[in-house]
Chain A
Amino acid sequence: MKNTYPELDKILAKFQDKKGALIPLLQEVQKEKGYLSRETMQYLADKMKIPPAEIFGVATFYSMFRLKPQGKHLIRVCKGTACHVSNADGIKKAVMDALQLSEEENTTADMQFTVMEVACLGCCSLAPVIMIDSKTYGKLVPEAIPAVLKQYEIEDTL
């Protein structure tokens, strides 16, 4: 039997007949599913009657789309110019060290945290900045990172 995804059908219905809807549609699908799996993209392509390559092409072009599952908390390390000249590299290293991630990994084994670099969060006056989920932490020093992350670990065990 063919897989059905009622939650995806709902989103598809919402964008039906709207021009240029692929990006907002994928954004919404990602919000629902957490990431865009191969299976999801194939399903959407079949339903929309477009080649899967078109969806895959868009999904890989824009940095916001994720092709792998991500951790519960998303840590965005700002690598904008102001942060760069204020030791963003040191902040990134402190985050990776605190989460015991190697350079190649970006999600912790327990699926609690995903770390990504972003071009600029637009809070340059608070540089260096990281954003965890939707909360911004500014004027950081590498030594402050473990305490910031600890809050989330404690929260999660409650």
Chain B
Amino acid sequence: MNNIIVKVGLASCGVAAGAKEVYAALEQYLEDNPRPVILKKTACIGMCFEEPIVEFEGSELGSIHIGKANPETITYILEDYIAGKTPAENIILAEKISGKHNALLANQQRIVLRNCGIIDPECIEDYEAGDGYKALQKALQMERTAIIEEIKKSGLRGRGGAGFPTGLKWQFCASENSDKKYIICNADEGDPGAFMDRSTLEGDPHSVIEGMIIGAYAIGANEGYIYCRAEYPMALEHLKTAISAAEEKGYLGKNILGSSFSFDLHIKEGAGAFVCGEETALMQSIEGKRGMPTLRPPYPAVKGLWGKPTNINNVETWANIPWIIMHGAQEFRKYGTEKSPGTKVFALAGKIAGSGLIEVPMGIPLKDIIYKVGGGMKTSKPFKAVQMGGPSGGCIPAEKLDTIVDYDSITATGAIMGSGGMVVMDSGTCMVDVARFFLNFTQNESCGKCTFCRIGTKRMLEILTRITEGKGELQDIEKLEELAVNIIKGSLCGLGQTAPNPVLTTLRYFKDEYLAHIVDKHCPAGVCNALITYKINPEKCIGCTLCARKCPVSCISGQVKQVHTIDQSKCTKCGTCFQVCKFDAVTKE
């Protein structure tokens, strides 16, 4: 009988949900009860909402993924599986039988995430077993220009958000004449609500490293940096392990695989500054300075890190490279659209049932992502908007859900493709509050170099705050629009140039909500505290006294079994009564 393999998903999302305890329970059980089982670690398969996830494979039942695993029952499931019995627990994915979420995965196409949640990211042999580092071997036999040609033919565009053609970028840097060139992987994933790069680095660091080695060879660089957020301790750890394993195997270092090509790769930890995701700021930060963007041109391809020609791509772009070299540009172009070939990884979050990581072919309509891949809405509240592109992006409303996912179509909505964060919002989300949230973020993160970004975002934030507090005036909308135009024009880098986008898109699609705040002093979503009144519905209140007892300012009065009332002059709008009422008698208006 073949060995049964049990894999526990131990990425950040799994660990936060208790996967370590599940792993420990299995480890202890197998120590006490020897079974023909190999216990392995893997990372995130993308279904974060079902974590901790455990996969069983190797029996005639085929592969089975169990969701929401817990240390108490996982050993029973193991015994069932060994005995050839289908476990009665939460089967989320299954090869031969029906799994709860089989359909969600079937609508995906995995190139970047090809190994995530399947291999042990800390084991280079696992990566090698799935054609790992074969693309590098192939590339080393190719002419450098042929590699760049192949990437150009593939039509791969920068997955960091702006969508610049990768092959062209490489060519610019390759054609520079210099004794020293650098390549950089931008893993400073700072968009709130985005975790694609974290998952990729945690789950398959070698794919990024292999992509970088191929890129360095094609461009003629012999030193590289991975600039990763310090907020991602596991990604950093897996990268360090992966780099030293690759060095040991001769994929990194001097005379790679016996060729004349040498390449060293270093990790640089970020120190918490969103603007460092901008390429010129990132290079300043690697040099040990304040991460403030510099004027372009000169572009990094000409004068980058320490004044030398430098090529920067983001994590997902690099992870695509080995696949393209291995399978060819033509195969890559089978997915996606003419102008945006390939796939895109998205991080689904917010009010969506299937929050987690997905990879879909470009060209898929947004509504399919939300309903067919993301499993629809989390609660019965209806869909309102999807936020794409983080603080640089915008909110796409329900009537635009037919929009297909490619760089140009998303840009036409006023949002941007961005790096892949998708936060789904329902009717309980206030769009003015969302705009204020993003402006607060960009205002905090503005490096302060450009006046319009530094002060303009501050003024926009003040206006938005005023509106959410019920002190808005009609001309505020005009002021916001005027400021937006000037900030876009007057800022040096992408942070400022895109900072007004969340305001502009919400004004475009949800102007009525702004007007409700300004004219009617009413927040339709019931979010903005100053504009809410809590009331007790006399028809539903049974006089249980719970709200009166819980109210921190004692502003609710009423006798037992009689309708209670809220003294509006004392109410601090903390919402406690609304939360504790078991009879839905407290209403928010």
Contact = CB atoms under 8 A, between A and B. Distances in A.
Given A22-B288, A81-B349, A82-B350, A27 B191 contact: no
A3 interface: no
B15 interface: yes
Task: Identify which of B233, B269, B288, B291 gathers the most chain A CB atoms within 10 Å of its CB.
Answer: B288
A90 B438 CA distance: 18
A101 interface: no
B192 A58 contact: no
B49 interface: yes
A20 B282 CA distance: 12
B387 interface: yes
A139 B49 CA distance: 11
Contacts of B290: 57-58, 61
B150 interface: no
Chain A CB within 10 Å, residue with most, of B13, B189, B231:
B231
Nearest to A64: B272
Given A22-B288, A85-B423, A118-B231, A125 B269 contact: no
Interface residues of A, number: 38
Specify which of A20, A22, A27, A81 lies most central, judged by the most chain B CB atoms within 10 Å of its CB: A81
A5 interface: no
Contacts, number: 131
Contacts of A119: 190, 192, 274, 441, 445
B233 A134 contact: yes
A47 to B, nearest CB: 15
Contacts of B349: 81-82, 124-125, 127
B472 interface: no
Contacts of A24: 268-269
Contacts of B445: 119
B47 to A, nearest CB: 9
Contacts of A81: 192-193, 349-350, 387, 390, 421, 423, 434, 437-438
A18 B189 CA distance: 26
26 contacts: A19-B288, A22-B289, A26-B271, A27-B271, A58-B289, A63-B272, A64-B271, A65-B271, A81-B193, A81-B390, A82-B192, A84-B192, A85-B351, A119-B192, A120-B191, A120-B194, A121-B231, A122-B232, A124-B347, A124-B349, A124-B350, A124-B423, A125-B355, A125-B356, A126-B16, A134-B233
Pairs A-B, 10 closest by C-beta atoms: A125-B48, A124-B349, A81-B193, A62-B271, A80-B192, A22-B288, A63-B272, A82-B349, A136-B16, A125-B355
Interface of B: 12-13, 15-17, 48-49, 51, 189-195, 198, 230-233, 268-274, 285-291, 306, 347-351, 355-356, 387, 390, 421, 423, 425, 429, 434, 437-438, 441, 445, 447, 575
Interface of A: 19-24, 26-27, 57-58, 61-65, 79-82, 84-86, 90, 118-127, 129, 134, 136-138
